[in-house]
Chains A and B, each alone.
Chain A
């Protein structure tokens, strides 16, 4: 069954949201979603890194299949994605300091979290072609950003609430994530 780009996008963005349904990138999601200000650049930076990871993985797959070295896949992914992000970071710093300031501080945080590596692994497992891979990465990034932004705005509002002391902190974040995940179940089956 060939999945269209739109289906892949909606799937990664909403129906099987990377964070809320696939459980990827939870650490930054729980850790960095306290403030709306940081949520958007964080989401943008993650999307960008996912795109890089997707491109790298696509290239690595071709190379490794060619060489018959698929058992090196994981190491290759992780090393090459990490260094490519470093490289991009340096290039950014040199040629676009504004963008670097906006995204730069987030890049090292996310060079290799599950969401990023997940993009690479899932696109390989699902045998996506080039366009499909890119759409998948963008959809996953958009989904991550959406979840992050919703979570951050809710958590900002809860700063002004009298949340019981027991529930404050990670427990509340997890419960919120659970509720969001519950709400995202409404999208199940979308794009199919």
Chain B
């Protein structure tokens, strides 16, 4: 398969926009909602997932001819679990505070459907470069999604962004945003906004075709 740079870019953007794992495919909800109480957590979780997704996909892609297809899923899981363990230790080594904030959800990356889905649907069938691009795109999409959740929740729920107070000391934080219901509401609101945009586009398109 030859890839021009344009299609490579498209491939990358696919994961960010048209196939965004969080907003479009609605996968990996648990980490997306559980850890996004602040922008830092969201970003860290996104990077951790990126690491696992990229490494696993690369390894799967490299070994794809070797892996017997009867046990491929088990193999993928072992590979994913390996990298999750690695990232788990890495984060512990970098910052225990961060590790505590992300909690069990680091280890729960193992079962994040996005990763297994990518391994099965893409990496197992494609050579290294496309796999890498696809995995990076997906990871970026997921990270952006998490970041979108985390920033809204942090700004509204604590009045800060990356821990920096934005509105002065008298600001009343909307505590609900950093509580479990807030996670659901913010993601739901994002989806509503995207749906509204999509509908408006469709209407415009319909009008345009009608006029034509």
Assess whether A26 is in contact with B88, with CB atoms less than 8 Å apart: no
The residues of B with any CB-CB pair to A shorter than 8 Å are 26-30, 33-34, 74, 77-78, 81-82, 84-85, 88-89, 104, 107-108, 110-113, 176, 179-185, 187-188, 191-192, 195-196, 199
**Residues on B with beta carbons closer than 8 Å to the beta carbon of A165:** 199
Query: Majority SS of interface residues in chain B?
Result: helix
A76 closest partner in B (C-beta):
B81
- Shortest A113–chain B CB gap in Å is 6
Q: How large is the interface on A (under 10, 10 to 19, 20 to 34, 35 or more residues)?
A: 35 or more
**Residues on A with beta carbons closer than 8 Å to the beta carbon of B179:** 185
A166 closest partner in B (C-beta):
B195
Assess whether A26 is in contact with B85, with CB atoms less than 8 Å apart: no
Assess whether B110 is in contact with A30, with CB atoms less than 8 Å apart: no
Assess whether A23 is in contact with B33, with CB atoms less than 8 Å apart: yes
Q: Identify which of B28, B78, B108, B195 contacts A75 (C-beta below 8 A).
A: B78
Q: A166-B199, A185-B180 are in contact. List 11 more A-B contacts (CB 8 A).
A: A22-B180, A74-B81, A74-B110, A79-B74, A79-B77, A82-B74, A114-B108, A114-B111, A166-B196, A178-B182, A185-B181
| A171 and B188 in contact, given A71-B85, A79-B74, A117-B110 (Cβ under 8 angstroms) | yes
Q: Identify which of A26, A172, A179 contacts B181 (C-beta below 8 A).
A: A179
The residues of A with any CB-CB pair to B shorter than 8 Å are 20-27, 30, 71-72, 74-75, 78-79, 82, 112-114, 116-118, 121-122, 125, 165-167, 169-172, 174-175, 177-179, 181-182, 185
- Shortest A31–chain B CB gap in Å is 8
**Which of B77, B179, B181 has the largest count of A CB atoms less than 10 A from its CB?**
B181
**Which of A79, A112, A118 has the largest count of B CB atoms less than 10 A from its CB?**
A118
Assess whether A117 is in contact with B111, with CB atoms less than 8 Å apart: yes
- Shortest A107–chain B CB gap in Å is 15
Assess whether B196 is in contact with A175, with CB atoms less than 8 Å apart: no
**Residues on A with beta carbons closer than 8 Å to the beta carbon of B74:** 79, 82
